[in-house]
Chains A and B, each alone.
Chain A
Amino acid sequence: MKKYTNLYFGLLGIFALVTSCGNQGKSSSGGALSSGAAERVYVAPGEYDEFYAFFSGGYTGNLTVYGLPSGRMFKEIPVFSQFPTNGYGYSEETKPMLNTSFGFVPWDDAHHPDISQTNGELDGRWIFINGNNTPRIARIDLTTFETAEIIEVPNSAGNHSSSFITENTEYVVAGTRFAVPVPQRDMPIKDYKGNFKGALSFISVAPETGRMDIKFQLMMPGFNYDLSHPGRGKSHGWFFFTTYNTEEANTLMEVNSSQNDKDFIAAVNWKKIEEYVNNGGGTIMPAEYAHNVYDDHTHTATSTMKKEVLTVDPTKVPGAVYFLPTPKSPHGCDVDPSGEYIVGNGKLSSDLTVHSFTRMLEAIEKEKFDGEAYGIPILKFEDVLAGVVSQPGLGPLHTEFDGKGNAYTTFFISSEVVKWKLGTWEVVDRQPSYYSVGHGMIPGGNSQKPFGKYYISMNKITKDRYLPVGPEMEHSAQLYDISGDKMELLYDFPTHGEPHYAAGIPAEKLIANSKKIFKLSENKHPYAALTANDTKIERDGKDVHIYMSTIRSHFTPDNIEGIKVGDKVYFHITNQEQDFDVPHGFAMIGATNAELLIVPGQTKTLLWEPKKVGVWPFYCTDFCSALHQEMQGYVRVSPADSDLELSWSLGED
């Protein structure tokens, strides 16, 4: 026995030796294969990922939910686009969500998600995202993972420097990319210069409900406001926007807006403007913009058209806005976790410019101005500069922070991610991206407390990274482990649409809040059938309202007669299940919209306009139960002049 014990300890010793060697190997080598990259992205069946990552869908108009480090996609949340998968934007309840001053707009280009914060840290209550094309901001509820609210932004065009939030979610900020005439009017395009405006909108977020309201619009000179980020910590109360086309060119922009040696970062003291506005400052101007709110109890959205907006002329609020000269059409405008450094990613510059918040305040105090633009003081480049990252790569776009004193900048042209040190400005590592990285993301990267374990690059060009699927491909993301001194590329995975940014958060901040069902007892939908006894059909002229219920595995009613050609038939379907993950679907032959996917406790409505006489079936589209295939029914459609009375039944012969 003693001999075996010795042997056992001997083996343990060898094992320890082997594993310690392995650890040394891991820290000293940059190669993914030698360091067990597979293990580090592998999340075993049934296990959970460490982080949620929300990727903007770009031209899908939606938001996708992934897990990190596995890169598995969990959900696509419809935001600005119709989504036939569950009927969003097709059902009567959700059509108002896509209402705008231009009418029903079923699509958008979704760009920059940002998670709500309290005291500069992610609180995981909501995630906001901007619609770029028809300027809108959406708020997604992170208990239901559904779009809860969309507000249109007037006087804006190309809502790109959005949707970034202040550190207590006081505001979600939306800046215009295109300068436009304000108010819009018929005028020659060539008269742009000096006449167009750039609106920066500060949308307040109600602390309890998250309800959005445009507090004020700052009417800036007609530059293009590209991206923005809030100050945090010491710079809380300020907001920074990159600009390009300070030339105010209106044609052949790629040349004409790239002539100035320096454009600006606009530093906006929003606390000062808030005070000005609270004291009655600003001008109310007529406007037209939609405000769409979804209610979890009525399961219905309402759209209200707003008629006016408060505008602020920046020259009327002394000390509120300054311009920081920044080389060459800066794109990303990123603020480090301490709030001291403002990184201007001058996309046509070979250097990376970092401004100092402290130096900016000093320069403002000493009034060291270098002229002004449209009445807004311009600070001297040398006076606000903190440092320059010299020759880090080509085409810097975006910078993220790991909370450990490092910054990670994407370089589109040289197709790489470069890690550098704040304060010393030295480049410490670089990794290629496949290919042409746009944005990068570290969970909590836009907060005082980043979770610096993983970095995700969102690459614009996919080419040969996956099995070929023809000329059009999904974009590609890459996962890097950034816990060590050197970045390690662990994994590639395709992303849906074109992610322009992402937001990540530790999973434990969201898991417990995620809803499993809607309570039927809290369903306040006016056409809900809360019990089988509530099912009925009512005719009001050509409108027919069917109060229908679903429970495994039947519709009540499932035989309907008395419908006529030319009727407008509203199927109001209530899923009476109260069990987790038992949705029912509803599809009607000849319906020209989509299906419905109804989760437990919810009511949704599909409009069907029967055009042909006959007996037409409907069925459940979600494999809900063992008897799913039997979950079906018939509607008899009679000629328009038929006098057959309405009748309905279930289980009668």
Chain B
Amino acid sequence: MKKASVLMIIGSLLLLGLFVFPLWNIMLGAPQYPEPLGMNIHINGIRGVQEFDIQNIDGLNHYIGMKTLPKPDEMWEFSTFPLVVGGMVFLGLLIGLLGLFGKVSYKWFVGWFVLMSVLGLLGMYDFNAWMTDYGTDLDPRAIMKLTQPDGTPMTYKPPLLGNAKILNFNVTSLPGVGGYLLFVGMLLTLVASYFGWKSDKIKVNSETN
């Protein structure tokens, strides 16, 4: 249980990386952008990979009538996410420490992991919903109004994960360093749960023998 608790503590601490590193990264390359434009999605806002990338992405997007990228105070998510992540780190740390002193069982670890997974999925859903809105809610007076081959308006939603070709741009969407730290951290808490469960089983077995 000691090993499990330490892993639980490390796992939840890795989430702190989200306060420094981006959760997600979207890069936009095109023939005339050999050095691609890019945005890093942090839990508290969207920042350019290079100093002026956000301004330049907005500049290009105005042709097709997309809204400008949201500033931190224009989306509730950017003030809520840090609180949620901070809260989960605190909770994970607390559970881990209590586990270390034998106050709580591995089931709390499982509980934390399930809660974090649910929150993560909700976050992804929310992120995807925003991207759908961002890519489809277009200014009716846009300079370029393009349509799909079937006549429906072109949408410009970036992919949640992986590559997509949007007009002249190749868009690649992948987790950022913070995102990977989140996954590794969550994985560690899952491993912690497993070790906790195993040591619990050994304890039960030795007690029954």
Contact of A626 with B55 in the complex, beta carbons under 8 Å: no
Please report the number of residue pairs spanning A and B whose Cβ atoms sit closer than 8 angstroms.
17
Asked whether any CB of chain B lies closer than 8 Å to the CB of A551, the reply is: yes
* B144 and chain A: residue at smallest CB distance: A626
Asked whether any CB of chain A lies closer than 8 Å to the CB of B63, the reply is: yes
**Alpha-carbon gap, A245 to B52, bound state (A):** 60
- Contacting residues, chain B, for A578 (C-beta < 8 A): 51-52, 55-56
Contact of B59 with A579 in the complex, beta carbons under 8 Å: yes
**Alpha-carbon gap, A517 to B59, bound state (A):** 16
Asked whether any CB of chain B lies closer than 8 Å to the CB of A263, the reply is: no
**Alpha-carbon gap, A381 to B192, bound state (A):** 91
Contact of B52 with A579 in the complex, beta carbons under 8 Å: yes
**Alpha-carbon gap, A579 to B58, bound state (A):** 12
- Contacting residues, chain A, for B143 (C-beta < 8 A): 627
Contact of A551 with B59 in the complex, beta carbons under 8 Å: yes
- Pick from A551, A578, A627 the residue with the most CB of B within 10 Å: A578
* B143 and chain A: residue at smallest CB distance: A627
Interface of A, secondary structure class, is loop
Expressed in whole angstroms, the minimum distance between the Cβ of B62 and any Cβ of chain A is 8
Contact of B59 with A577 in the complex, beta carbons under 8 Å: yes
In the complex, per-residue mask of B48-72: 1 if CB is within 8 Å of any chain A CB, else 0: 0001100110010001000000000
- Contacting residues, chain B, for A626 (C-beta < 8 A): 63, 144
Asked whether any CB of chain B lies closer than 8 Å to the CB of A552, the reply is: yes
- Contacting residues, chain A, for B56 (C-beta < 8 A): 578-579
Expressed in whole angstroms, the minimum distance between the Cβ of A555 and any Cβ of chain B is 15
- Contacting residues, chain B, for A577 (C-beta < 8 A): 59
Kindly state the interface size class of chain B when it binds its partner.
under 10
* A552 and chain B: residue at smallest CB distance: B59
Interface residues of B in 65-91 (CB under 8 A from A): none
- Contacting residues, chain B, for A627 (C-beta < 8 A): 63, 143
Interface residues of A in 575-590 (CB under 8 A from B): 577-580
**Alpha-carbon gap, A577 to B58, bound state (A):** 12
Interface of B, secondary structure class, is mixed
Expressed in whole angstroms, the minimum distance between the Cβ of A313 and any Cβ of chain B is 56
**Alpha-carbon gap, A551 to B63, bound state (A):** 12
Expressed in whole angstroms, the minimum distance between the Cβ of B198 and any Cβ of chain A is 49
* A551 and chain B: residue at smallest CB distance: B59
**Alpha-carbon gap, A242 to B35, bound state (A):** 50
- Contacting residues, chain A, for B144 (C-beta < 8 A): 626
- Contacting residues, chain A, for B35 (C-beta < 8 A): 580
* A627 and chain B: residue at smallest CB distance: B143
In the complex, per-residue mask of A119-130: 1 if CB is within 8 Å of any chain B CB, else 0: 000000000000
Expressed in whole angstroms, the minimum distance between the Cβ of A532 and any Cβ of chain B is 13
In the complex, per-residue mask of B12-31: 1 if CB is within 8 Å of any chain A CB, else 0: 00000000000000000000
- Pick from B35, B51, B52, B144 the residue with the most CB of A within 10 Å: B52
Expressed in whole angstroms, the minimum distance between the Cβ of A542 and any Cβ of chain B is 37
**Alpha-carbon gap, A413 to B2, bound state (A):** 92
* B34 and chain A: residue at smallest CB distance: A46
Interface residues of A in 57-99 (CB under 8 A from B): none
- Contacting residues, chain A, for B59 (C-beta < 8 A): 551-552, 577, 579
**Alpha-carbon gap, A587 to B81, bound state (A):** 50
**Alpha-carbon gap, A69 to B140, bound state (A):** 52
**Alpha-carbon gap, A181 to B63, bound state (A):** 66
**Alpha-carbon gap, A627 to B52, bound state (A):** 21
**Alpha-carbon gap, A630 to B141, bound state (A):** 16
- Contacting residues, chain B, for A517 (C-beta < 8 A): 52
**Alpha-carbon gap, A552 to B59, bound state (A):** 7
**Alpha-carbon gap, A506 to B185, bound state (A):** 48
- Contacting residues, chain B, for A580 (C-beta < 8 A): 35
**Alpha-carbon gap, A578 to B50, bound state (A):** 11
**Alpha-carbon gap, A418 to B27, bound state (A):** 55
In the complex, per-residue mask of A614-628: 1 if CB is within 8 Å of any chain B CB, else 0: 000000000000110
Expressed in whole angstroms, the minimum distance between the Cβ of A465 and any Cβ of chain B is 35
**Alpha-carbon gap, A138 to B51, bound state (A):** 33
Interface residues of A in 446-477 (CB under 8 A from B): none
Expressed in whole angstroms, the minimum distance between the Cβ of B186 and any Cβ of chain A is 38
Expressed in whole angstroms, the minimum distance between the Cβ of B40 and any Cβ of chain A is 18
**Alpha-carbon gap, A592 to B35, bound state (A):** 40
- Contacting residues, chain A, for B51 (C-beta < 8 A): 578
Expressed in whole angstroms, the minimum distance between the Cβ of B92 and any Cβ of chain A is 41
* A630 and chain B: residue at smallest CB distance: B143
* A601 and chain B: residue at smallest CB distance: B52
- Contacting residues, chain A, for B63 (C-beta < 8 A): 626-627
In the complex, per-residue mask of A556-582: 1 if CB is within 8 Å of any chain B CB, else 0: 000000000000000000000111100
Interface residues of B in 136-174 (CB under 8 A from A): 143-144
**Alpha-carbon gap, A580 to B143, bound state (A):** 23
- Pick from A517, A551, A579, A627 the residue with the most CB of B within 10 Å: A579
**Alpha-carbon gap, A573 to B35, bound state (A):** 28
Expressed in whole angstroms, the minimum distance between the Cβ of B39 and any Cβ of chain A is 15
Expressed in whole angstroms, the minimum distance between the Cβ of A325 and any Cβ of chain B is 59
**Alpha-carbon gap, A578 to B51, bound state (A):** 9
Expressed in whole angstroms, the minimum distance between the Cβ of A649 and any Cβ of chain B is 17
In the complex, per-residue mask of A510-542: 1 if CB is within 8 Å of any chain B CB, else 0: 000000010000000000000000000000000
**Alpha-carbon gap, A578 to B48, bound state (A):** 13
- Contacting residues, chain B, for A579 (C-beta < 8 A): 52, 55-56, 59
**Alpha-carbon gap, A551 to B144, bound state (A):** 17
* B62 and chain A: residue at smallest CB distance: A552
Expressed in whole angstroms, the minimum distance between the Cβ of A628 and any Cβ of chain B is 12
Expressed in whole angstroms, the minimum distance between the Cβ of A246 and any Cβ of chain B is 58
**Alpha-carbon gap, A551 to B56, bound state (A):** 11
Interface residues of A in 607-653 (CB under 8 A from B): 626-627
**Alpha-carbon gap, A517 to B53, bound state (A):** 13
**Alpha-carbon gap, A626 to B51, bound state (A):** 24
**Alpha-carbon gap, A578 to B57, bound state (A):** 11
**Alpha-carbon gap, A579 to B143, bound state (A):** 20
**Alpha-carbon gap, A578 to B55, bound state (A):** 8
**Alpha-carbon gap, A517 to B52, bound state (A):** 10
**Alpha-carbon gap, A580 to B33, bound state (A):** 9
* A581 and chain B: residue at smallest CB distance: B32
**Alpha-carbon gap, A517 to B55, bound state (A):** 14
Expressed in whole angstroms, the minimum distance between the Cβ of A143 and any Cβ of chain B is 17
**Alpha-carbon gap, A250 to B195, bound state (A):** 102
**Alpha-carbon gap, A551 to B143, bound state (A):** 15
**Alpha-carbon gap, A578 to B52, bound state (A):** 6
Expressed in whole angstroms, the minimum distance between the Cβ of A521 and any Cβ of chain B is 10
**Alpha-carbon gap, A626 to B142, bound state (A):** 14
* A625 and chain B: residue at smallest CB distance: B63
Expressed in whole angstroms, the minimum distance between the Cβ of B37 and any Cβ of chain A is 9
Expressed in whole angstroms, the minimum distance between the Cβ of B188 and any Cβ of chain A is 40
**Alpha-carbon gap, A517 to B35, bound state (A):** 15
* B37 and chain A: residue at smallest CB distance: A579
**Alpha-carbon gap, A580 to B51, bound state (A):** 12
In the complex, per-residue mask of A420-442: 1 if CB is within 8 Å of any chain B CB, else 0: 00000000000000000000000
**Alpha-carbon gap, A620 to B132, bound state (A):** 36
**Alpha-carbon gap, A577 to B35, bound state (A):** 17
- Pick from B59, B63, B144 the residue with the most CB of A within 10 Å: B59
**Alpha-carbon gap, A524 to B55, bound state (A):** 21
In the complex, per-residue mask of A237-272: 1 if CB is within 8 Å of any chain B CB, else 0: 000000000000000000000000000000000000
| 15 additional contacts (CB under 8 A) given A517-B52, A551-B59 | A552-B59, A577-B59, A578-B51, A578-B52, A578-B55, A578-B56, A579-B52, A579-B55, A579-B56, A579-B59, A580-B35, A626-B63, A626-B144, A627-B63, A627-B143
A and B contact pairs by CB, cutoff 8 A, 8 listed = A517-B52, A551-B59, A552-B59, A577-B59, A578-B55, A579-B52, A579-B56, A580-B35
Q: Report, nearest first, the 6 A-B pairs whose CB atoms are least far apart.
A: A578-B52, A579-B56, A578-B55, A552-B59, A627-B143, A579-B52
